[in-house]
Structures are given as structure tokens and as C-alpha cells.
Amino acid sequence: MALQRDTLQSTIDAPALCARIGLVVHPARNIELPLRGLQRWANSRDVEVFQIPVAGQDRRVADVGTVHACDLVVAIGGDGTALAAVHAAAPAARPVLGVACGSLGVLTLVAPNAIEAALDRFSHQQWVPRMLPALAVGQDDGDDLLAFNDVAITRGGQGQVIVRAELDRVLFSRFAGDGCVVSTPIGSSAYTIAAGGPLLAPGVQGFVLTPLPAHGGFRPPLVVGPDATLRLEISPGHGGVRVELDGQVAETQPRSLTIGLLPAAATAVGFPDQESLMAGLRRRQIIIDSPRILADDARRIRRSADA
């Protein structure tokens, strides 16, 4: 199946005003603080707020509207909520502002008590578009799919999954085991590094294939260039195969997937003074220094305190 690489690659200009806000919220977390701040900001400026329906979301905090009718999509929750908002906003080329209810994440960079200031900065065009890449995933017998974080192909039960991975029609590796993960640079900080794959730094143009534990052989993670095409031929075991896109289970049992990169598939709202990706990963202790270095730091702190 041929990939449509031009799909969803449009960018947007910063709007002069923010007259309509579309809202996507976490289904269970306490969102009262940022929600009150958003409503207070909107009421004081006669801005309309409505909720954008997303799959699996039945929590209602506002009247329902369409993403094409808004100027900005605000996601209140965690990175999963922000991903749902990005999926909803991408076809309409609307920017997404991620507000964290919990720890700040990769896509949720605004603290709950800072939402009004963030909306002010957005409405005055004091924001930076963060262009988000995505994986265009072509199926052998189904509709094309889209993933902004990753695509995970794992065994659905008993038995191993056999994967044949080709890069631009050249065989890379065949492996039998738990499956594999294909990730964008943003998604590489999630399932990919948890599986032992590389962290792709911000600005890297490409994506990465990380095999999950397999039965023997040698298959290192493969970093793929932005114009290359990765093809995965999948032979499920007795228990079948499970395909997840951005953490959501897809209702599909593909025999092959063809994956390419869309370098600018959606837009997230950023600000020049926000925390960097690397700083955020260290703050959340996803990246941790060597124990020897941490012990040396602790000794220096103790010596300084005793002096």
C-alpha cells in the first residue's frame, strides 16, 4: 500500500485572536483547577468554549462542538490526553495547548495554575509552533493509520510473533519473540527507551524501530531516515497479534504494515521559556545519572554542610 506522505503536512499561522476554544479532558483525573482557570479567562473575554468528542471519552464538561469550529484545542490531563487532542486537531490543522494535571510531560508543558497566562500568551501570538511528526502506517487490508508517539506490534497471547523488517525493500532482520515498537522522536522517550531503544533528540528527522525481547539472534534498534520506508511483515503466533497506536489498541490484525514519517503532521503550542525535553526527562527521573556520580554528589553536599 502506497503511503500518502503529503497527508496532514500543512502548517498553520498564529491566529490574531482566540475566539473559540475546543476542549479535550482526561476521563478521570481532577481537572477542576485548570478548568476553572480556562472558564474564567474565557468568560472575561467573551470566548466560546466547547468540548471536542474523542474516542473513549464520555466525561462531559461543556457543550459538544467540532474541531473545525475552534481556533485552539486545549488538552487538560496528561500526555495521553494531549495525544488524543492532537489526533483530533491534526485533520483541521488546529494547534494544541497541553495542560498537565499531574507531572509536566512531553506534550503537557503548562502547569494547572498557569493556564490563564498561557492563554494570554497564545492570544497575543507570543507562542512557538512545535511541529509534531507522525508515523503514516499503511495496512495491507485496511485504512491507513496515524501515530504521533509509536506503533507497537506485540503478541496477543501464547506463542511468539515473527516479524520480517525491511528498509526500502532491503531485509534488515527477521526475529521471533514479543514483537517490536516503531517510534517518532517524541515517542522515543516512552515505550522505546523502556524497551532498551535509543532516545532521539529534539530536531532529529527520522524514526526508530526497536525489537522487543526475541528468541536469540542479534537485532539492534534501527534508526530510519525521514524519507525511508519501513515494511513489517507479521506472522502472529497462536494467541494472535496486538497492534497499539499511541497506546490505544487498534481493531486490526494486519499481515504487513508499511511505515513512513510525516515530518509536520500536527502543531503543539510551545513557549520560548518552557522546560526542554531533556530537562523534563531528568526531572521525572526517566534519565538518571550513574550511581557513582550521584554518590559523589551526595558526599560533596555532606562535606559542604559540615564545613
Rg (CA), the chain: 21
What secondary structure letter does DSSP report for 123? H
Query: Residue 143 catalytic?
Result: no
Which candidate, 303, 171, 159, 302, places its Cα nearest to that of 232?
171
CB 75 within 8 A of CB 108: yes
Q: Is 274 exposed, middle or buried (0-12, 13-18, 19+ CB in 10 A)?
A: middle
Strands 96-100, 72-77: pairing kind: parallel
Phi, psi at 281, each rounded to 5°? -65, -35
Grouping H, G, I as helix, E, B as strand and the rest as coil, residue 23 is strand
Please name the residue ranges forming H helices in 129-254.
191-194
Q: How far apart are CA 103 and CA 99, in angstroms?
A: 10
In angstroms, the first-to-last Cα distance of the chain is: 69
CB 223 within 8 A of CB 202: no
State the helix-helix crossing angle for 32-45 and 115-123, rounded to 10 degrees.
40
- At position 279, the amino acid (one-letter code) is A
What secondary structure letter does DSSP report for 40? H
Q: How far apart are CA 198 and CA 210, in angstroms?
A: 8
Question: Could you tell me how far CA 144 lies from the centroid of its own chain?
Answer: 18
Question: Which residue of the set 46, 63, 71, 79 is catalytic?
Answer: 79
Active-site residue numbers?
79
